[in-house]
Structure 1
Amino acid sequence: MLPTDHLLRRVDRCLDIGELRQALAGHYSARGRPSIDPELLIRMALVGRIYAITSERRLCEELRYNLAYRWFCRLAPGDKVPHHSTFSKNRHGRFRDADVFRILFESTVRRCISEGLIGGKDAAIDASFIAADASWQRKTVPGYLPYVANASRAVREWVHDTRDAVFEMARSKSCQGVSRTDPAAAWSARTVRGRFGYALNALVDTPSGVALDVKATPARFAEEVDAGRVMLERSADRFDYRPKRVAADKAYGSANFLGFVRDHGAIPHIPVIDRTQQTKGKLPRTAFSYDRDIDSFTCPTGKPLRHHAFHLPTGVHRYAADARDCEACVLRKKCTTARRRTLVRLDDEDVRDLARAEVETGLYKRSMRLRRGVERFFADAKGKHGMRRLHLRGIRGAEEEFLIGAAVMNLMILARSNRLNGKPRRGVCVPAALTPAEISARSIEHDVIASPARRYA
């Protein structure tokens, strides 16, 4: 009934649940009623994400009569389907304690590495906005959230994670409010109408499209950049993945992140956030030459601008000219309206110069083309696997959905690669128990019946 080249058959060949069984072994007792196999729930969750079934009630309903779903979940035609509430009980308990979905995702990454799909030379980092399961109308300030004892699980988790930061956020003038339903989500105006949401941060091996790591953060640019550091460190620690080049958009072009990428052993192919040309008609900083040996700038007329101060938290060095030199300068009106001209240089200015120089190389242009792979990752997640809006609430729920989605997309890449390695062609329904000779004979028979020319010949 199920063709050998069916999607779920190909995904099943690439799926390894052994690590999950070990991780959940301590959560079960030999006494009591027979429990539901966790592998069944995990396979059901994978089916729901593969076919974009976001409702657990609908997933359980379709599992009752869909033969392909039952085969993938190892359910016989007469076996009972678990109740939809079983997902919630296990998700907020055993699965989160054992970090099941992180283990599942990382097992797919190791399988991709063992299959030789990951090149390890080019990587891309980016983030995409995913709407939270929270209405834009239910917005309030942090101090007016419901009492914690009567609040929902998402509110209790957020208050526990933030602690004293809740009151600091309430006093902040820059706070745009939080959601009564999902306060961990950040208010974002990236859509036509402002919405609450999370950022799906992904580290992707760009030639293959395999996701090496994903992380959920509130939809704020500063936290997305921090997530990029976490993903690079975690992938190096767990998979020894150290790409030679890292590509990203201009949001990651700060000196601190560029320096982190360089210290990580990679060349940053990232546009630099540069405001040196925003001088309001005055001479730009590029008109001044910098001498590294004496740590000083020289103006167009040959006067020095010596080191004046250093701000440790931001890593900014300040240089200033002598006021007497500026008073007698013929370029004073074009240079500054202040008493003397000042310049700044970041502590990681060397890596900014490196990133600027890389823009003119052919490898940089190649990295920008390959960076489309991470955009394809987001497009598939939203368009094919139903991740335009989250089903779970809270930062932990968002992380869980992102890990399942990334695991599914890695499995799809594995299934596609296995399909090209001598698998039976499409349209031939062959039981899995047949031998290769029988499979070949049935394929020939199918071709003879399907071709009138062969039949009459």
Structure 2
Amino acid sequence: MTVSFHTELYKLIPEDHQLRKIHEVIDFSFIHELVCSSYCEYYRRPANEPELLFRLLFLQILYNPSDERMIQEAQVNLAYKWFLGLNPEDPLPDPSQLSRFRNHRLGAGAVDEVLKAVVRQCIEKGLVKSKTIIMDSTHTLAASQKQKPLEVLRDAAKRLFRVVVKKHPKLEKKLPRLPELKKDQEDAEKVMLHYLAELGQTVETLLPDHEGSISEKIRIAKAIVEDERLLAQKGILSAIDPDARFGWKSSTKSFFGYKEHIAMTEEEMITAVIVTGGSSDDGKQFKELLNQSLATGIEVDEIIADTAYSGKDNLAEMKSKGIRPVVPLNPVVHNGGLRQEGFEYNKDADFVICPAGEHSTRKAVQGSKKSGESRSLVFYFDTEKCKTCPLREGCLKPGAKSKTYSIRIVAEHFKEQIEFENSNTFKERIRRRPIIEHKNAELKRFHGMTKAKYRGLFRMRIQAILTAFVVNVKRMVKLKEQMQPAS
């Protein structure tokens, strides 16, 4: 930046302004190395462009405006201009550059490293002393509404047809026409499913070297056609956002969107974020959350989490690494015996979900109370739905009056953990778990994680990780202030 006489205006920014504190505590220059591979070194570009754009994204998540609004606000806000390293009279990039930088520079593999960078800076400054990781998940509503199967199929077909005709008008007559469906036509969904498959195959034949938006629409069409659970209204529920999924917050409350699985230190520094569809199992993300946290250079000797993370594989992983599991056991989660593929237990709703997406209607314990090895938890499904399920073959026996899924309770395998769970140490340490719920509330209430800003798992992941970066920086400022002696 070439200093101009207008920089005198920056003296009007208070010394205790939030952006001044952030500028002092975090070094943003790490972004140059992270995104250098996505730039061509043989063409000129402003040396500060990556950092400037990254700082703009930071401001956008911190204060939550849209791309266009962010540029408009930054153009007239002295504190923003100072934070960006610009003179008051300097112009700002076009809003479209924010999207390109977010998706093509950071999204091209650097976004995970962004979170690691801030955690490492925090460690270097001595702000992280705890060796405890707390894990939990939260959810974000999709940017689009869920649809019925026929709507999903029709929208996907229209969007593919439209983009092909827009880019290649001469191909319009060669594409199969959208079928005219009668009102309440019984096989309407199957007709539309066949049409979408035919349309996708035709486009790939006519445009074997397709790319860009056409490739994206073909990808979505293929995913919908190949989704066995679509017609049962349990698979893809949106042609606009096919990665979003139907999930449960409790036995009566559901949502349509995504899950963010989070690991955090006791100092409230987020060390790892994994984004999945809303139907995913929390416990299955444990190992990756732990590995991501360890990759930041943080030491872990204790993990605090809820029952969703108490699977025997997770407990074994912690034991192998010498980590103390402050995780309440659940006989449903840490079970023994064989598991039927595709069935998953949802700890929030306390029911089992079958491969078709239907959940059990009731449960019962069978076996002798005196023998833990022989007891089972049995979940019952609605057989009327099973009889019409597209996945019933091999699942529902012909003539069966009920469909059940049993889990054998093997408490003996977890005797050591059960004894620890009854100790005063466990009871004291588990009280620390709610602090991660406060962090989840901060992400939603102040930084736009209640609802997705963009569509698709790829963009949702970028949003979640950048948001975690921002709240980490805010936390660094507070931790730094707490370290300073009172005047």
TM-score under structure 1 length normalisation: 0.70
Q: In structure 2, what is the Cα distance between the partners aligned to 1:23 and 1:280?
A: 54
Mapping for residues 4-403 of structure 1, pairs under 5 Å: 4-26=15-37, 27-31=39-43, 37-53=49-65, 55-97=66-108, 99-137=109-147, 146-147=156-157, 167-170=226-229, 173=232, 175-190=234-249, 194-205=254-265, 207-222=266-281, 224-236=282-294, 238-274=295-331, 283-284=368-369, 287-288=370-371, 344=408, 350=413, 352-403=414-465
Given that residues 129 and 197 in structure 1 are in contact (C-alpha distance below 8 angstroms), is that contact kept between their aligned partners in structure 2? yes
Identity %: 21
Amino acid at match of 2:305: A
Amino acid at match of 2:278: A
Residues 121-163 of structure 1: CA deviation (Å, up to 9, x unaligned): 3211110011111113476687666258558989966975997
SS in 2 for 1:169: coil
Cα distance change, pair 199–136 in 1 and its aligned pair in 2 (3 A): same
Given that residues 156 and 220 in structure 2 are in contact (C-alpha distance below 8 angstroms), is that contact kept between their aligned partners in structure 1? no
SS in 1 for 2:447: coil
Report the Cα offset of residue 61 of structure 1. 1.1
Cα distance change, pair 252–92 in 1 and its aligned pair in 2 (3 A): same
Bigger shift: residues 55-64 or 25-34: 25-34
Report the Cα offset of residue 7 of structure 1. 0.9
Given that residues 112 and 414 in structure 1 are in contact (C-alpha distance below 8 angstroms), is that contact kept between their aligned partners in structure 2? yes
Cα distance change, pair 209–75 in 1 and its aligned pair in 2 (3 A): same
Hey, what does 2:169 align to over in structure 1?
none
Q: In structure 2, what is the Cα distance between the partners aligned to 1:151 and 1:267?
A: 56
Report the Cα offset of residue 10 of structure 1. 1.0
Amino acid at match of 2:283: V
Report the Cα offset of residue 88 of structure 1. 1.9
Cα distance change, pair 12–161 in 1 and its aligned pair in 2 (3 A): farther
Hey, what does 1:333 align to over in structure 2?
none
Q: In structure 1, what is the Cα distance between the partners aligned to 2:214 and 2:289?
A: 27
Q: In structure 1, what is the Cα distance between the partners aligned to 2:249 and 2:407?
A: 34
Q: In structure 2, what is the Cα distance between the partners aligned to 1:100 and 1:211?
A: 17
Q: In structure 1, what is the Cα distance between the partners aligned to 2:135 and 2:264?
A: 7
Cα distance change, pair 102–149 in 1 and its aligned pair in 2 (3 A): same
Structure of greater relative contact order (alpha carbons < 8 Å, 6+ residues apart): 1
Given that residues 158 and 183 in structure 1 are in contact (C-alpha distance below 8 angstroms), is that contact kept between their aligned partners in structure 2? no
Q: In structure 1, what is the Cα distance between the partners aligned to 2:233 and 2:317?
A: 28
Given that residues 243 and 277 in structure 2 are in contact (C-alpha distance below 8 angstroms), is that contact kept between their aligned partners in structure 1? yes
Given that residues 160 and 214 in structure 2 are in contact (C-alpha distance below 8 angstroms), is that contact kept between their aligned partners in structure 1? no
Structure 2 unaligned regions, length at least 5: 1-11, 164-211, 336-362, 375-405
Amino acid at match of 1:18: S
Amino acid at match of 1:365: K
Hey, what does 2:382 align to over in structure 1?
none
SS in 2 for 1:110: helix
Report the Cα offset of residue 270 of structure 1. 1.5
Greater radius of gyration (CA): 1
Q: In structure 1, what is the Cα distance between the partners aligned to 2:433 and 2:146?
A: 32
Given that residues 372 and 409 in structure 2 are in contact (C-alpha distance below 8 angstroms), is that contact kept between their aligned partners in structure 1? no
RMSD of the alignment, in Å?
3.5
Given that residues 230 and 236 in structure 2 are in contact (C-alpha distance below 8 angstroms), is that contact kept between their aligned partners in structure 1? no
SS in 2 for 1:179: coil
Given that residues 242 and 265 in structure 1 are in contact (C-alpha distance below 8 angstroms), is that contact kept between their aligned partners in structure 2? no
Count of residues in Structure 1 that have an aligned counterpart in Structure 2: 366
Structure 1 unaligned regions, length at least 5: 291-296, 298-341, 426-457
Q: In structure 2, what is the Cα distance between the partners aligned to 1:61 and 1:220?
A: 38
Q: In structure 1, what is the Cα distance between the partners aligned to 2:222 and 2:25?
A: 42
Given that residues 103 and 459 in structure 2 are in contact (C-alpha distance below 8 angstroms), is that contact kept between their aligned partners in structure 1? no
SS in 2 for 1:178: coil
Bigger shift: residues 161-170 or 263-272: 161-170
Cα distance change, pair 357–157 in 1 and its aligned pair in 2 (3 A): farther
Residues 243-302 of structure 1: CA deviation (Å, up to 9, x unaligned): 2221111222332332333233212222222159x8658631xx2388xxxxxx9xxxxx
Report the Cα offset of residue 170 of structure 1. 4.1
SS in 2 for 1:215: strand
Cα distance change, pair 166–5 in 1 and its aligned pair in 2 (3 A): farther
